[in-house]
Amino acid sequence: MKKLVFVLALSLGSLTAFAQDAEEVQTEVADATEVVAAQDDFSEIAAEELPEAVTAAVAQNYPTAKIDKAYVNESKQYKLEVSLEDGTAGTLYADENGNWIEM
């Protein structure tokens, strides 16, 4: 009988832990959706449409970088998807004056 009570208590504890994990995952997914929605206000543009200050900042700070895609928002902030010669890729954000922005 003691073993049965122990097994039931252990099972109930395990189920409670899984329920909490599911709630955390749902919260993380909701937060990620909000972040994506906040960044959806960027519209894709051709790399040739970037201001000279932005392309100069990329060339100066990341000489081996190639701008794969460029985006702009209403505040004239630029989102740049870049790739380096070593195969790494990343996203940079800059204002119209070529100053880097942390998003």
Summarised one tens digit per residue, pLDDT across range 44-70 is: 999 999 999 999 999 999 999 999 999
Task: For residues 20-24, give the mean pLDDT.
Answer: 52
Please report the pLDDT score of residue 37 as a whole number: 42
Question: 76 by DSSP, 3-state: which?
Answer: coil
- Spell 2-41 as b/e; 16+ CB within 10 A means b: eeeeeeeeeeeeeeeeeeeeeeeeeeeeeeeeeeeeeeee
Please report the pLDDT score of residue 24 as a whole number: 55
Q: What is the mean pLDDT of the chain?
A: 78
Q: 87 pLDDT exceeds 80? A: yes
Please report the pLDDT score of residue 103 as a whole number: 81
